[in-house]
Amino acid sequence: MAESTEYDLIVIGGGPAGYAAAIRAGQLGKKVACIEMERAGGTCLNWGCIPTKALLKSAELYQKIKKADVYGLSVGEVSFDIAKVMTRSRSVSDQMAKGVEFLFRKNKVDYFVGRGQVTAPGMVSILDGEHKGKFFKTKNILVATGCKMRRIPGLEYDGVRVMTSREALASKTLPKSIIIVGAGAIGVEFAYFYNAFGSKVTLVEMLPQVLPVEDEEVSKTLTRAFDKQGIKSYVNTKCENFRVGKDSVKVDLVQGETRTEVEAEVLLSAIGVVANIEGVLAANVKPEMDRNYLKVGDDYQTTVKGIYAAGDIIGPPWLAHVATYEAVNAVNGMFGIHHAKRVKNFPGCTYCQPQVASTGLTEKAAKEKGLAYKVGKFPFTASGKAVASAESEGFVKVISDAKTGEIYGAHIIGAEATELIAEYGLARELEATVEEIHQTIHAHPTLSEAVMEASAATMGEAIHI
């Protein structure tokens, strides 16, 4: 590739924001390049969303087979090979990453593996890898370098006794016991996975509930479900005095004046993420920042003209689907297709069992805002499809304006929650009301009826069994 090549857009980062931006620009016929430091797909495809879902599917299937007698089936003794489970997860990631590389070729995106840096507005260099030393001119730059796992200060991460989700995904052994610090989506998903395959799991969260961003009622229900599964959850709990030994890790769990020592073979840190900005900007490139995240305007442009940013690098919510939305809108805006749109309506999903999904305000948030609202709730125990499928745990809950029926928020815990939430997302986008969802005929028997019935319950009209 000639160093004199000039691009319409160079994207730094090849994750859900980066590859989506590059492909969209390619679709528009623009000259575009994407620089990714590891592999197309970024953290999500290679070390996050996709491989974890492969692991969770194996765990879910294993647990269902173990309970086959519930369905009147006899399968004999069920066993597993954790190395094969992990290998399948990696192969799924490989397949998806190759898919991104194919789309790059299809849309004539120049793809470079290396560490990209904005050396000046309109100029990008590659700092390492086989393309090290190359400089490119470009009309626009999009920074989409995402985030990396936050680490507990003072704790050495060796990938054996102490690890992040990345090391956990690369491991082909199963610990007999594990302490998971942090009960957000990542911590909760790994808690389910390890417990499903027989590890003794201790889940610790310093905030008042597991899945702190979710509705309180949902989090309480998940905690009860985890307790039944054998997962020990601690909330309002701090971790202090980490001691890493040859064969185990010890830590003190502190709740007020109470201090409890716990010990496990492995500790998994899942305390959140931090901006992956180090080395991305040369010292003379100084866009405005907010706690290491790039500040952008409504058009996703930073305070330096011609330099845009999208995805996790501009701050929460740190969700792959939000990152893709932002990146595509940034590209459409910078090339005049239409005005860029900022994210307002999006789902949050956690893929443990039971699944958790939500969009919009929690009931607590609606109350704190002083909104006049109604709550409609429908349990899966009253869903014929859920009961027939032996998946009746959980409920659908919808929060709406007391007068107009406008949907402020929706919260689902139960089977296929992460699929069902899309209907409420569409309803919010179209400004539909709970009455309109109620008046839309849903096939019987389906799990989606619970979405309709929760809306009906807002008006005291829920019926189905």
- Residue bearing tokens 């909760």: 188
Contact 190, 169 (CB under 8 A): no
What one-character-per-residue DSSP string does 96-120 give? HHHHHHHHHHHTTEEEEES-EEEEE
The identity of residue 142, as a single letter, is L
Question: Catalytic pick from 131, 442, 444, 464?
Answer: 444
Contact 318, 8 (CB under 8 A): no
| Whole-angstrom distance, CA of residue 78 vs CA of residue 60 | 13
Catalytic-residue membership of 444: yes
| Whole-angstrom distance, CA of residue 250 vs CA of residue 234 | 16
Residues 6+ apart with CB under 8 A from 205: 182, 183, 187, 212, 233, 234, 235, 236, 237
Question: Helix, strand, or coil here: 362?
Answer: coil
CA dihedral 307, 309, 313, 314 (to 10 degrees): 110
Tokens of 322: 């939000």
Tokens of 250: 């010890």
* Catalytic residue positions, numbered: 444
